[in-house]
Structure 1
Amino acid sequence: MFAKKSLPIGTIFSFVAVIVFSIFGLGSCSNPSTPAGFEGYVYEKPRIFGSGGYQGTLQGPSNFGMSLLRNEVINIDMRPNTYTENFKILANDDLNIIFDFHAVVSIRAGTVKAVVENYGGEHWYARFVRETFRTYVRNAVQKFDSGELKARRDDIAKEVTVKLQTYLNATPFEVKNIVVGNINYPDIVAKAVEKKLAAQQLLSEKETQKQIAKKDAEIRIEEAKGIAEAQKIINSTLTENYLQHEAINAQLKMAESPNHTTVYIPVGTNGMPLVKGLK
């Protein structure tokens, strides 16, 4: 029989500590990852040991790798995204105009560290861009009367684009495009526009009618001129001799008719019918 030899108490505690530490260490391992189109800001969030802070950058899609440190990642979308702002602005003629502005902004590659540490990370647009963008829009719109806005929307967008690009020039952010969205006028303006359009349509119709009446009058004038000219020609050819000649021919035709019962009494010179002069 061999006597059982017990382990020293210190060794047992050390063994248990190693097991617990191993389990704890494996459980605290991390492997941060970043999807395509994003850049990842990897940082340490220490539990027991480690200094914490920035650990590196990921270009998606990729993984940082397994680590005993408690590494985490902040993923920032670097692709161009559209940011829409809704406005109700008092125009130069004191009318409130409701419309949208759309800004397409992206983040320059390789700048995720600056975005996270200096510009608010995932909230960079709200913290650094939004209010400045809205200020530029208000300043540009308030220069014009409400009726000009639709016609000047490209000029307004261009002005805001130049100012925002200048503001963001030394930052990780880049303006791709700015577009003025739908412009909605107050009801009073919409009704006034409808009345104006209706009046213009009526005026156009009246102008058309005027042109038609003018043409009709010109036609009547030309017709009257034609009639007067015809009468003038006829009057100049209806002499007394011509009319007497026509009267004799008419009498001859009637005399030759079997049903003729009219009796003509010749009067005048040489028994010729008398014809009263036309002059």
Structure 2
Amino acid sequence: MKNVNFLKASAFIALAFLMTQCAIVRPGEVGIVQRMGVIRGASITQGSRWFNPFTSKVVKINARTVESFNTLPLPTKEGLSVNTEISLLYHVNPESAKAVYTRFGRNYEEVIVLSNFRATAREVSSRYFAKELYATERTKIEKAVAEELSSHIAQYGFVVDAVLLKDIDLPAQLAQAIENKVNAEQAVLQMEFVVEKQKKEAERLVIEAEGIKKAQDIINQSLTEKLLQYNNIQMLKSLVNSPNTKVIVTGSQPSQLMVNTDKNP
């Protein structure tokens, strides 16, 4: 019995020892083999790798896109300082993972990425007024920070995916002033819209009046004396033929008639 337990324990220890000799590199990671303090061989993109745990180790570098969330006070063009919540999305270029680890170690994010990110964000924000950060130029600022940061750190093996200005905390008085100005601008635009609408309505009325006038001119030109007499005669004929109408001749002209439309006899 003791021999059986001893064999089981020995097998478990052997299995555990073998497990410590195997490193698994998952998708999105890059493995770097370091033996006796020296990096050897090509990087491992994914899969397993056997190594001697007494002389070697496998360092894993994350090559997925990661988000670094920061709360930064950013200067503005008018000399103010506004608190912002700003995120950086970036990843390590897998082909440069070995160089990144060799040059900056495992703490590469703080050493090279975030230090450049903070400096670039402050430099770009100082070109804009607070109201532009708050409302009108946010997308432009995000793009400028991303492009300039990329120019600083791409050479070291980092890829900037995006920069996102999530929140900007302005002083209360400044925020109210910006809001009042935006409301005033909206009111001006609304008034301009109303004025333009009234102009269009006036133009419509003029065009309608001109059309009515032209129609009347055409009708007036077509109304001759004979046509008027003919229409008058046709109207009188319809009245005479009505059983409830009395016709009294008052003159020699067809128009000199008195018509009584009283239905009572």
TM-score (structure 2 length as normaliser): 0.57
In 1, Cα distance between the equivalents of 2:129 and 2:59? 46
Identity among equivalent pairs (%): 20
Match of 1:31? 22
Name the counterpart of 1:40.
31
1:222 corresponds in structure 2 to: none
Q: Specify whether residues 188 and 112 from structure 1 end up closer, same or farther in structure 2 by C-alpha distance, changes over 3 A only.
A: same
CA RMSD of superposed structures (Å): 3.4
Distance in 2 (CA, whole Å) between partners of 1:157 and 1:183 is: 13
Q: Does 1:62 align with 2:53?
A: no
Structure 1 pair 169/89, CA: closer, same or farther in 2 (3 Å)? closer
Deviation at 1:199, TM superposition (A): 6.4
- Structure showing greater radius of gyration is 1
Matched pairs, number: 181
Spell out, residue by residue over 1:197-241, the C-alpha distance to the aligned partner (whole angstroms, 9 max, x if none): 676788879xx9xxxxxxxxxxxxxxxxxxxxxxxxxxxxxxxxx
Q: How does 1:215-254 map to 2 (within 5 A)?
A: none
Q: Which runs of 5+ in 1 are unaligned?
A: 1-22, 45-50, 209-279
Q: CA deviation at 1:96?
A: 2.5
User: Paired residue for 2:145?
Assistant: 160
Alpha-carbon distance change, 193 to 77 in structure 1, aligned in 2, over 3 angstroms: same
For 1:193-208, list aligned pairs within 5 A. 193-196=178-181
Does residue 172 of the first structure (1) align with residue 173 of the second (2)? no
**4+ residue segments displaced more than 4 Å:** 26-29, 194-205
The offset of 1:173, in angstroms, is 0.9
When the two structures are superposed, what TM-score results if normalisation uses the length of structure 1?
0.54
CA contact (8 A) 1:32 1:71 kept: no
Provide the rounded CA distance (Å) in 2 between the counterparts of 1:56 and 1:96: 49
Partner of 1:179: helix, strand, or coil? Answer: strand
Counterparts in 2 of 1:180 and 1:109: CA distance versus 1, 3 Å: same
TM-aligned CA deviation for residue 195 of structure 1: 4.6
Cα–Cα, structure 1 residues 199 and 166, in superposed 2: closer, same or farther, change >3 Å?
A: closer
Q: Which residue of structure 1 lines up, in the alignment, with residue 131 of structure 2?
A: 147
Residue in 2 aligned with 1:187? 172
Contact 1:88 1:99 in 2 (8 A): yes
CA distance in 2, matches of 1:69, 1:40: 18
Say whether the 8 Å CA contact 1:83–1:104 is kept in structure 2.
yes
Pick aligned residue for 2:100 from 104, 115, 135: 115
- Give me the whole-angstrom Cα distance separating, in 1, the residues matched to 2:178 and 2:97: 50
Structure 2: tracts of 5 or more residues without a match: 1-12, 195-265
